[in-house]
């Protein structure tokens, strides 16, 4: 059963119980008030008759010596015939014996004293009033019975109208209640629809937020939750996508050298090849093995950074730069590249080994991008509380859309070229990782044909 149905039935039942019991109490109360009024009216009529009868008897007791039944009948009969026209009936008892009765049906009196009650005789309601006459005629008891059917008719007509009113009000209430409940629970249905569509994978869906009531607040919290879920799902799928790409790339990168190594080794074993060809095959085997070895080393470096935490010390960049220059000397000389520097005595907080690796990768990349006789510029300076290392080359550069992908492992701006240069395609991926572990920001500016500038912003001094 749905919530609005539950709310509808519970409200309706409670209302009907309350309304009907109230109606019942009011009806009963008004009936008993009316009854009292009717009895009082009958009592006053009884008193008038009783006094009148008393006076007549007192008067006539002088004329008649004995008060016998016939005499008494004669006195009472005119009253009886008068009142019977108004629905009143009179009975007279003498010493407990009935002497006169104007009604065919008669409610027998109680034994003594004053009595006032209602009684039902043969389906007709009567007010029954009885009393002894005053002294010395106390042996006479006058009973007056007044038709009170109006009382009953009033009650039944009231009950009837009440039932009709109750049904009409219930109907109106039901319709209003239904309308209100459907209106009030509407936002829940909308929220539910949003939740269902999110559950089915449409993580971008949101519930419309309406008003500041509980439902509005709920919708707002729901949307906040959905935002978080969407973000996490996107992050997860990004991570798994980049992992998958990494594995595909790794497989692709290793296949070429392995194919070459296996192929040349096979030819060395079974082929009828000349000594020059033999030399070439051996050189390829060595070169391609080195390529795999180099890749393994770099991957190892990447993995090491993903796991271990680094120990930060004050590092003198000038000192590191001179180490890197010594390592890269042959590469620079081979391509006749001039390396200029503006470093001074700048220092940053970091891991010396990683800083060396960072600078070396940046310079190696710059060398690979440069043409023969090119120029590479290394600058270290402070700006806005940041220490910035900038490596600029005047090489071939790359397109804007490549910049975002360039730090991904194995991505190459120029596929054939850098592979021929012996690069593993991991240099900038490693740089990005090193920056990450140092909370530094890697910024790449590049223009196709004019060169590339890589800036690293160290936020901590």
Partner 1 sequence: MAAILIVEDEIPIADLIELQIKLAGHTAEVLHRGDTVMDCVLGKRPDIILLDVMLPGRDGFSIMQDIRPLGIPVIFLTAKERLEDRVTGLKLGADDYIMKPFAAVELTARIEAVLRRCRKCAEIFQLGDIEVRQEEHIVLRGGENVELTAREFDLLRILIENKNLALTRDKLLELVWGFDYMGETRTVDVHIQRLRKKLGLEENIKTVFKYGYRLDVPR
Tokens, residue 24: 């019942």
Angle at 417 between CA 411 and CA 423, to 5 degrees: 55
275 binds partner 1 (CB under 8 A): no
- How many residues touch partner 1 (CB under 8 A)? 27
270 binds partner 1 (CB under 8 A): yes
Taking the complex as a whole, the smallest distance from the CB of residue 426 to partner 1 amounts, in Å, to 18
Near partner 1 by CB under 8 A: residue from 135, 212, 269, 306: 269
Near partner 1 by CB under 8 A: residue from 12, 67, 124, 258: 258
272 binds partner 1 (CB under 8 A): yes
Report the candidate in 312, 267, 257 with the shortest Cα–Cα distance to residue 424. Answer: 257
Angle at 119 between CA 115 and CA 124, to 5 degrees: 145
Rounded-to-integer distance, Cα 89 and Cα 83, Å: 7
Rounded-to-integer distance, Cα 68 and Cα 406, Å: 138
Taking the complex as a whole, the smallest distance from the CB of residue 314 to partner 1 amounts, in Å, to 45
Tokens, residue 74: 């004669």
247 binds partner 1 (CB under 8 A): no
- Please list, residue by residue across 256-287, b when 16 or more beta carbons sit within 10 angstroms of its beta carbon and e when fewer do: ebeebbeebeeeeeeeeeeeeeeeebeebbee
Near partner 1 by CB under 8 A: residue from 210, 233, 262, 371: 262
Taking the complex as a whole, the smallest distance from the CB of residue 291 to partner 1 amounts, in Å, to 9
In the region spanning residues 398 to 457, those forming contacts with partner 1, defined by CB under 8 A, are 415-416, 419-420
C-beta closer to partner 1: residue 64 or 284: 284
C-beta closer to partner 1: residue 218 or 284: 284
C-beta closer to partner 1: residue 168 or 262: 262
Beta-carbon contacts of 84 under 8 Å, excluding residues fewer than 6 positions away, are: 102
Rounded-to-integer distance, Cα 267 and Cα 189, Å: 73
Taking the complex as a whole, the smallest distance from the CB of residue 459 to partner 1 amounts, in Å, to 39
Rounded-to-integer distance, Cα 232 and Cα 225, Å: 11
Near partner 1 by CB under 8 A: residue from 5, 68, 139, 256: 256
Rounded-to-integer distance, Cα 192 and Cα 138, Å: 87
C-beta closer to partner 1: residue 256 or 439: 256
Taking the complex as a whole, the smallest distance from the CB of residue 240 to partner 1 amounts, in Å, to 19
286 binds partner 1 (CB under 8 A): no
C-beta closer to partner 1: residue 150 or 262: 262
**195 exposure class (CB count in 10 Å sphere: 0-12, 13-18, 19+):** middle
Parallel, antiparallel, or unpaired: how do β-strands 386-393 and 441-447 relate?
unpaired
Stretch that binds partner 1, among 43-51, 176-184, 262-270, 352-360 (CB under 8 A): 262-270
Name the one residue in this structure whose structure tokens are 């239904």.
178
Sign of torsion over alpha carbons 278, 280, 283, 285: negative
Near partner 1 by CB under 8 A: residue from 72, 91, 281, 398: 281
292 binds partner 1 (CB under 8 A): no
Taking the complex as a whole, the smallest distance from the CB of residue 257 to partner 1 amounts, in Å, to 7
Tokens, residue 202: 């449409």
- Please list, residue by residue across 58-83, b when 16 or more beta carbons sit within 10 angstroms of its beta carbon and e when fewer do: eeeeeeeeebeeebbeebbeebbeeb
Angle at 8 between CA 6 and CA 14, to 5 degrees: 100
267 binds partner 1 (CB under 8 A): yes
Taking the complex as a whole, the smallest distance from the CB of residue 265 to partner 1 amounts, in Å, to 10
In the region spanning residues 129 to 188, those forming contacts with partner 1, defined by CB under 8 A, are none
Near partner 1 by CB under 8 A: residue from 102, 288, 365, 407: 288
290 binds partner 1 (CB under 8 A): no
Binding site for partner 1 (CB under 8 A): 252, 255-260, 262-264, 266-267, 269-273, 277, 280-281, 284, 287-288, 415-416, 419-420
């Amino acid at each position: 059963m749905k919530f609005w149905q539950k709310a509808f039935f519970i409200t309706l039942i409670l209302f009907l119980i309350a309304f009907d019991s109230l109606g019942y109490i009011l009806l009963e109360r008004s009936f008993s008030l009316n009854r009292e009024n009717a009895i009082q009216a009958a009592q006053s009529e009884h008193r008038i008759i009783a006094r009148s009868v008393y006076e007549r008897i007192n008067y006539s007791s002088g004329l008649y010596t004995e008060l016998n039944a016939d005499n008494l009948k004669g006195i009472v009969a005119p009253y009886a015939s008068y009142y019977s026209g108004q629905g009143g009936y009179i009975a007279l008892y003498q010493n407990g014996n009935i002497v006169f009765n104007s009604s065919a049906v008669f409610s027998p009196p109680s034994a003594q004293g004053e009595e006032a009650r209602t009684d039902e005789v043969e389906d007709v309601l009567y007010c029954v009033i009885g009393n002894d006459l005053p002294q010395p005629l106390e042996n006479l008891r006058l009973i007056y019975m007044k038709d009170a059917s109006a009382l009953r008719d009033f009650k039944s007509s009231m009950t009837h109208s009440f039932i009709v009113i109750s049904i009409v009000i219930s109907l109106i209430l039901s319709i209003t209640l239904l309308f209100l409940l459907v209106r009030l629970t509407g936002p829940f249905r909308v929220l539910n629809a949003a939740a269902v569509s999110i559950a089915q994978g449409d993580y971008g869906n949101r519930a419309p937020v309406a008003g500041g009531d509980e439902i509005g607040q709920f919708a707002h919290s729901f949307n906040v939750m959905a935002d978080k879920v969407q973000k996490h799902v996107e992050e997860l799928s990004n991570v798994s996508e980049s992992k998958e790409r990494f594995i595909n790339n790794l497989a692709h990168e290793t296949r070429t050298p392995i194919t070459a190594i296996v192929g040349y080794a096979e030819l060395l074993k079974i082929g009828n090849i000349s000594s020059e060809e033999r030399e070439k095959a051996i050189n390829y085997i060595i070169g391609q093995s080195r390529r795999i070895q180099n890749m393994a080393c770099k991957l190892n470096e990447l993995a090491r950074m993903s796991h271990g935490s680094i120990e930060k010390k004050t590092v003198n960049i000038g000192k590191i730069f001179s180490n890197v220059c010594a390592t890269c000397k042959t590469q620079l000389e081979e391509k006749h590249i001039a390396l200029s520097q503006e470093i001074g005595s700048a220092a940053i907080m970091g891991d010396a080994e990683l800083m060396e690796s960072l600078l070396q990768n940046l310079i190696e990349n710059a060398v690979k991008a440069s043409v023969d006789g090119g120029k590479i510029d290394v600058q270290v300076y402070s700006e806005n509380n940041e220490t910035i290392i900038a490596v600029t080359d005047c090489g071939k550069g790359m397109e804007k859309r490549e910049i975002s992908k360039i730090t991904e492992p194995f991505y190459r701006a120029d596929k054939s070229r850098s592979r021929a240069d012996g690069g593993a395609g991991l240099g900038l991926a490693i740089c990005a990782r090193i920056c990450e572990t140092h909370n530094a920001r890697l910024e790449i500016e590049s223009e196709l044909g004019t060169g590339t500038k890589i800036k690293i912003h160290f936020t901590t001094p």
